[in-house]
Structure 1
Amino acid sequence: MIVLYVLILLALFYGVLMGIYWYGWNHLKEYDPDLQHVHEDVYVSVIIPARNEAEHIQSCLHAICRQHYPPDKMEILVMDDDSTDDTAQRVQEIKDPRIRILHVNDYISHESRQRAPKKKAIELGVAHARGELIITTDADCVAEPDWIKTIVSFYRQYHAVCMAGPVIYANEKSFFDIFQSLDFMTMQGITAATDHLRIGTMCNGANLAYSRKAFNEVDGFTGIDGLASGDDMLLMYKLYCAYPDRVFYVKSRKAIVKTSPVKGLKAFWHQRVRWASKAGKFDDKRLTWVLAGVYCWNLTFCLLFFAGFFHTRWWLWALGLLVYKTVVELCFLIPVAAFFQKKHLLWYFFPGQFLHIPYIVSTGLWSLWSQYQWKDRKLK
């Protein structure tokens, strides 16, 4: 009987949580400014940390160079983090005076950046930036043409100090790609709802903007540089603590940044372990408790599956709860998918549950004590 009560409580918790996210997403108005009348007087520094990104860096840079923003009001800083491929050469092939490449190992010793190389690269970029507004993205991302203009418009209109922008996967070619896209899109919806309702701080470093002045006022990554990941969410929380009413999510199609799903299970595993490794490091314990509850909810399905070998009724419970989980998640995800124009992928949502639950449980557990691999480095 106690087990049944626990199952019901977890189901209620999850249903209420998804209801809160649904409300947050739908209550957040889409930002669609008249870009013809945007004051283009803000100098913007786009910082791109890059390690072994020869395959993607030119597509990323071409998209930024084609931005509908005055060339004399922006610069692009590529932070080459000790790449062992042709990343630097590919950058130098693009003859654009706005692009500067900084080799991180020319400024920071290997020992100093060993624990948090990406944070050190971004920190170096901010130190050399001339812009009032810093925008970070990843080297494997492609931005919409009005990306910078939209963020600048939002920055001016709301006097923001930190803005999370939408990121989405594109070029899905297989079921595994679609699974990743759906999972990532769900996280984007949760990010927007969480930031809007101010029940936590979430973002993705592939599309993050902040005031250079505010970054320096909170001492950048000082105090959060003991963890390799977290250059986005841990920083956002520092800025939120200093400016609680000036941290936002920019819900605008014009501000979308696109990237591709990772290739292969191994790369996916290491990526998600890297993301999960931040969970216990949040100073914002609201997120920690929510993540713990969601983890217990997913763990329940694994326990019910194994319990079913001893009594088949637990398999019926697992199936019933799985249908319930799918329904409440779809209620939230349908409007999110409509915004990102990916409703056609929802047909794959239920089959994806059989991958989603095991990966949540396994990566969450693995991240507690094990290393992961990122850009040919072993980190923790």
Structure 2
Amino acid sequence: MLALLSWICQAVFLVVVVYFAVYVLLELRVFLISQKVERQKLTELVQSALKQNADSEAENWPPVSVLLPVRNESEVVERLIDAVCRLHYPGELLEILVLDDSSDGTTALARGRVDWHAAQGVDIRLVKRSDRKGYKAGNLVNGIQQSRGQFFAIFDADFVPPTDFLLKTIPCFKDPNLGFLQTGIGYENRDVSFLTRFQAMEMGHQQYVTVGLSEDGDMASLSGSSCVWRRACVDALGGWNASTVTEDVDLGYRAQFGEWKYAYLRDVVSMSTLPETISAYRIQRERWGRGLIHSGFKHFRQMLSQRMPLMKRMHAISVMFSSVLLASIYVLTLLSLPLTYLMHFDGAGMRWGALAFFGLVVLWGLENAFGARRGARFNKKPNVLGDLWDTYRYIAMFLPMAWYYFAGGMRALFGVHGDFHRTPKGKDGYRLAVPRINSVLLAGEIFTFFYALTAVGVAWRSANYFLTPLDVTACVGFGMALYWSWQERHAHRRKQQDD
């Protein structure tokens, strides 16, 4: 029985290592492409956009609807509305719809700013639904039904677009096959803590890799904010689908399978904010993991039916199932204890498998951290020891994130697709009721920390150290998450006492 269990654990371990190897090599290829084109415009579409004269006659510009889906965002909704009303674009061709699904004081604040800007001559309306059917996807569908633009520019509540956003993006759509366009995203609170720096770097890496994917014409997974969609594309696809909590990724996949083109403009940057509390971050990533894994399997058959070269198909699989790979890394953490206890890595396959895995982690970590710093535009002077420690902590944080994606994937497997929780920003996080899933994720963090610690102890007693680097890194990653949980809990109690 133990021999069978050992064989199963080894097989799963080696399958994940091979999967990880393919992913790393594909990402390295795209990374090199990103480096080559970093100082160039990504496509002829982008080049033509930047050559446009911002003072062109109004007749050269199409009507645009700016959609602002908001839900209980009282801290940032006024800033969002003010920023969007500063966009440079012919006034008669621009309308702004504040799609308000709020149940708190956000509605009154939004209505006040909408009325003020409307009095100044801005074409802006507040659209309120009677219920939240379909969550954000339903809110967007309801919004486009009441809009008149040929193009939709979409911004989440915490975004601040540059004033020339439309002048730089709309000219790209001269190509009638361009269905949607994504721009760069910066984070104004990225230096608040290591948690926010990690998020900014991780998102920056994704943006940096997207440069290469866009240049190579490969499939990409793009954000649903700071983007522009062609109305004809959205209508042809049937709009956003509420059956998944990552409705933006779902629509992007369907567009690319429908042979619509996309463009990525990294140099057009909207500013956003990141979750500053670990509870908000873990709930956000569980939702992302659940939606991304669901979307990947949902569109897998359609992807296989598409005619595409082998390399592009491999990149498509890599993009669609990167969340599954991240979740499988958590499986490796769970396997570390039985593997350490059951075997001493005497076999050449497991020995070389373990060495290959850690070698790939080092290669991926260096490439990822470099791309992350470039993508997030961290320009501080290098400090070798400090940068090495930050890079190690950066890699370690992917293990708690792997747990969140694993939990999201398991929930998707059991049919939980519509449990949508908005991501609060700022230090307060969830000021009222924290969603129940937070307690489940926290319990998983506590369990995994002590589980990995036990694996380190077993490795020490048996002098079987092959998987110790993974277990030590898990202790560091989950230890950071638990420390931030303690900090958040302490700050919450102190605020309650002050109130």
TM range, smaller chain: 0.7 to 0.9
* From 64, 67, 73, the counterpart of 1:44: 64
State the SS of the aligned residue for 2:53.
Answer: helix
**TM-aligned CA deviation for residue 337 of structure 1:** 3.2
Q: Does 1:374 align with 2:434?
A: no
Amino acid in structure 2 at the alignment position of 1:327: L
Contact 2:21 2:360 in 1 (8 A): no
Q: Distance in 2 between the 1:379 and 1:46 partners?
A: 34
Residue deviations 1:325-346 (CA, integer Å, cap 9, x gap): 2433432553563354224499
State the SS of the aligned residue for 2:222.
Answer: coil
Q: Distance in 1 between the 2:55 and 2:375 partners?
A: 23
Name the residue aligned to 1:292.
324
Name the residue aligned to 1:125.
143
Q: Distance in 2 between the 1:367 and 1:203 partners?
A: 20
Residue deviations 1:277-296 (CA, integer Å, cap 9, x gap): 12123343234444333433
Is the radius of gyration larger for structure 1 or structure 2? 2
Name the residue aligned to 1:17.
26
Q: Which moved more, 1:203-212 or 1:132-141?
A: 203-212
Q: Does 1:160 align with 2:196?
A: no
Q: Distance in 2 between the 1:260 and 1:75 partners?
A: 25
Q: Which moved more, 1:95-104 or 1:306-315?
A: 306-315
Q: Distance in 2 between the 1:289 and 1:145 partners?
A: 36
State the SS of the aligned residue for 1:232.
Answer: helix
Q: Does 1:80 align with 2:100?
A: yes
State the SS of the aligned residue for 1:93.
Answer: helix
Q: Distance in 2 between the 1:290 and 1:188 partners?
A: 15
Runs (5+) with no aligned partner, structure 2? 1-6, 301-316, 424-432, 438-499
Residue deviations 1:294-332 (CA, integer Å, cap 9, x gap): 433454355337755778989999798556424334325
Q: Distance in 2 between the 1:339 and 1:373 partners?
A: 28
Q: Which moved more, 1:149-158 or 1:171-180?
A: 149-158
Name the residue aligned to 2:271.
258
Q: Distance in 2 between the 1:19 and 1:50 partners?
A: 37
- Where in structure 2 are the equivalents of 1:207-356 lying within 5 Å? 207-221=226-240, 224-227=241-244, 229-242=245-258, 244=259, 246-253=260-267, 255-278=268-291, 279-282=293-296, 283-285=298-300, 286=317, 287-297=319-329, 299-301=331-333, 303-304=335-336, 307-308=339-340, 321=357, 324-335=360-371, 337-344=373-380, 347=387, 348-356=390-398
**TM-aligned CA deviation for residue 24 of structure 1:** 4.7
Q: Distance in 1 between the 2:14 and 2:104 partners?
A: 55
Q: Distance in 2 between the 1:330 and 1:271 partners?
A: 26
Contact 2:203 2:376 in 1 (8 A): no
> What is the identity percentage for the equivalent residue pairs of Structure 1 and Structure 2?
17
Q: Distance in 1 between the 2:394 and 2:375 partners?
A: 21
**TM-aligned CA deviation for residue 41 of structure 1:** 1.1
Contact 1:82 1:104 in 2 (8 A): no
Residue deviations 1:236-271 (CA, integer Å, cap 9, x gap): 2222233x1x42232232x21221111311111111
Q: Distance in 1 between the 2:14 and 2:351 partners?
A: 17
**TM-aligned CA deviation for residue 86 of structure 1:** 2.9
Name the residue aligned to 1:183.
202
**TM-aligned CA deviation for residue 62 of structure 1:** 2.0
Q: Alpha carbon RMSD of aligned pairs, Å?
A: 3.5
Q: Which moved more, 1:339-348 or 1:155-164?
A: 339-348
State the SS of the aligned residue for 1:331.
Answer: helix
Name the residue aligned to 1:104.
129
TM-score (norm 1): 0.82
Amino acid in structure 2 at the alignment position of 1:210: W
Q: Distance in 2 between the 1:234 and 1:379 partners?
A: 26
Amino acid in structure 2 at the alignment position of 1:156: K
**TM-aligned CA deviation for residue 101 of structure 1:** 0.7
Name the residue aligned to 2:497.
none
Contact 1:372 1:379 in 2 (8 A): no
Runs (5+) with no aligned partner, structure 1? none
Name the residue aligned to 1:136.
154
Contact 1:18 1:332 in 2 (8 A): no
Q: Assess, with a 3 A threshold, how the Cα gap between structure 1 residues 85 and 315 changes in structure 2: closer, same or farther.
A: farther
Count of paired positions? 367
Q: Which of structure 1's runs of 4+ aligned residues deviate more than 6 A?
A: 309-320, 375-380
Q: Assess, with a 3 A threshold, how the Cα gap between structure 1 residues 315 and 72 changes in structure 2: closer, same or farther.
A: farther
